[in-house]
Amino acid sequence: MNKKICFYVEGDLSIIDTVNTVTGLSFYQNETLRQIKKRYPKAELVPLDYAIHRIEEAAKERWTMLQPEEITEGEYLERLEVLPPEDFLRDDSGASFKMSEREYLDITTGFVAKDGKFYKMYVKSYTPHESMIKAVEHFINLSIAK
The Cα–Cα gap between 145 and 90 comes to 27
Does 136 share its domain with 85? yes
Torsional sign, CA 124, 129, 134, 136: positive
Number of domains in the chain: 2
Q: In this predicted model, what pLDDT tens digit does every residue of 90-126 receive, in sequence order? A: 999 999 999 999 887 888 999 999 999 999 999 988 9
Does 82 share its domain with 121? yes
Decide which of 64, 92, 107 is a domain's last residue.
Answer: 64
Q: In this predicted model, what pLDDT tens digit does every residue of 15-27 receive, in sequence order? A: 999 999 999 999 9
pTM: 0.65
Q: Supply the range of the domain harboring residue 53.
A: 5-64
**6 half-sphere exposure, CB direction, 13 A CA radius:** 18
Q: Please report which confidence band the pLDDT of residue 146 belongs to, taking 50, 70 and 90 as the band edges.
A: low
